[in-house]
């Protein structure tokens, strides 16, 4: 009988935590017991896991004594405090917050891109930002083939990336506006319904946002190449699920659109949808609830010597968060990198 693991989901009642529970069950991860952890106000709630219900427990410092693997999706301050506690209890942590991503002692992993980095973990592995994950999955085969010099990306990010309260706000604003009332603003600084906000996370001193800086820094770390120039503009759009990205690439050598399509179509985790004659291209409404990264609109950029444009779409709660974390956990099992007494 194959080894099974005692698994905890931290932040189990949130949108990503719910997807983590669902994904663990759907993919048949070898769980002997699943522990759902959240704040005190969620303790006692019944949560679904596969065909059973489990009772959510309060997250405490002693929560990890009998846990082999913990998937964290509870915010940066929670991860900063509890991930080291879990690690020191003998548990391997896969953390979805930004707390550990740029720590040089912590691997930042997308399994289709840099699985080898799992081998040097010291108990904590970081899950990248949702917008970074889908982009680097598309970049990896192209970078391996002809080496990317420069990336310019503009994102169109769904409100579910902010959380359940943002989805509720969009729903409420659409209803209020359609019924002739004004839109009430709470989650975002401006109305999101029928609008676009070029502002995700806080602004930095140089005028960029933290979300944009994440894409710059994380892309270089995951691809293991600090020479790549990356520029990002991140925009929140009134879409419930699914992030979209317009990605402009400049390469060291020539690559044709047909060669790029072939490379991408042969890459696990990618689905190429690229037939303008039949209006086939990736759409967030089709990506929602699915696992792949979708790539289309692959065409030359005539303004540089070796340039291509791509359109990249994925479900931000699945591949952009929960699925990637579970795939990292599967990688740890495959490589026997989960410490079990």
Q: Is 143 a catalytic residue?
A: no
Write out 108-169 in H/E/C secondary structure.
ECCCCCCHHHHHHCCCEEECCCHHHHHHHHHHHHHHHHHCEEEEEEEEEECHHHCCHHHHHH
- CA–CA distance, 10 with 58 (Å, rounded to integer): 10
- Give me the helices (H) in the chain, please: 15-26, 76-88, 130-146, 164-178, 210-223, 257-265, 284-287, 323-334
Cβ neighbors of 259 (< 8 A, separation 6 or more) are 145
Closest to 243 in 3D by CA, of 191, 317, 309, 169: 317
Contact 59, 13 (CB under 8 A): no
User: Phi, psi at residue 60, to the nearest 5°?
Assistant: -135, 170
Closest to 108 in 3D by CA, of 129, 132, 126: 126
Contact 154, 148 (CB under 8 A): no
Q: Which two tokens stand for residue 240?
A: 């419930």
- State the DSSP code for 303: T
CA angle in degrees (0–180, nearest 5) for 159-161-166: 40
- Active-site choice (56, 91, 130, 234): 130
Q: Is 190 a catalytic residue?
A: no
Sheet holding 31-38, edge to edge: 57-58, 31-38, 5-10, 69-72, 92-95, 124-126
- Active-site choice (56, 91, 143, 243): 243
Cα radius of gyration rounded to whole Å, the chain: 20
- Catalytic center residues: 130, 243
């Amino acid at each position: 009988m194959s080894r099974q693991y005692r698994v905890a989901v931290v932040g189990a009642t949130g949108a990503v935590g719910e997807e983590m529970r669902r994904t663990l069950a759907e993919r048949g991860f070898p769980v002997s017991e699943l522990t759902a952890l959240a704040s005190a106000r969620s303790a006692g709630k019944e949560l679904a896991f596969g065909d059973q219900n489990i009772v959510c427990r309060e997250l405490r410092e002693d929560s990890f004594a009998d846990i082999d693997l913990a998937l964290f999706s509870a915010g940066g301050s929670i991860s900063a405090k509890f991930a080291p506690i879990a690690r020191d209890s003998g548990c391997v942590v896969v953390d979805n917050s930004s707390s550990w991503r740029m720590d040089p002692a912590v691997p930042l992993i997308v399994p289709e891109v840099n699985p080898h980095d799992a081998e040097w973990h010291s108990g904590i592995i970081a899950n990248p930002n949702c917008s970074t994950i889908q982009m680097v999955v598309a970049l990896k085969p192209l970078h391996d083939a002809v080496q990317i010099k420069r990336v310019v990306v503009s994102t169109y990010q769904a409100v579910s990336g902010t959380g359940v309260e943002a989805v509720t706000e969009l729903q409420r604003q659409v209803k209020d506006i359609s019924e002739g009332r004004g839109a009430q603003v709470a989650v975002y600084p401006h109305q999101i319904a029928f609008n676009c906000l070029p502002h995700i996370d806080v602004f930095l001193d140089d005028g960029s946002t933290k979300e944009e800086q994440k894409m710059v820094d994380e892309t270089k770390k995951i691809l293991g190449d600090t020479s790549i120039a990356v520029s990002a503009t991140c925009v929140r759009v009134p879409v419930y699920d699914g992030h979209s990205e317009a990605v402009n690439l400049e390469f060291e050598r020539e690559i044709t659109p047909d060669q790029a399509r072939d490379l991408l179509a042969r890459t696990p985790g990618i689905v190429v949808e690229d037939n303008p004659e039949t209006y086939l291209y990736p759409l967030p409404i089709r990506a929602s609830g699915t696992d792949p990264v979708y790539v289309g609109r692959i065409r030359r950029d005539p303004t540089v010597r070796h340039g291509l444009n791509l359109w990249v779409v994925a479900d931000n709660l699945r591949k952009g968060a929960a699925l990637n974390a579970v795939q990292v956990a599967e990688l740890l099992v495959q490589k026997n990198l989960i410490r079990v007494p």
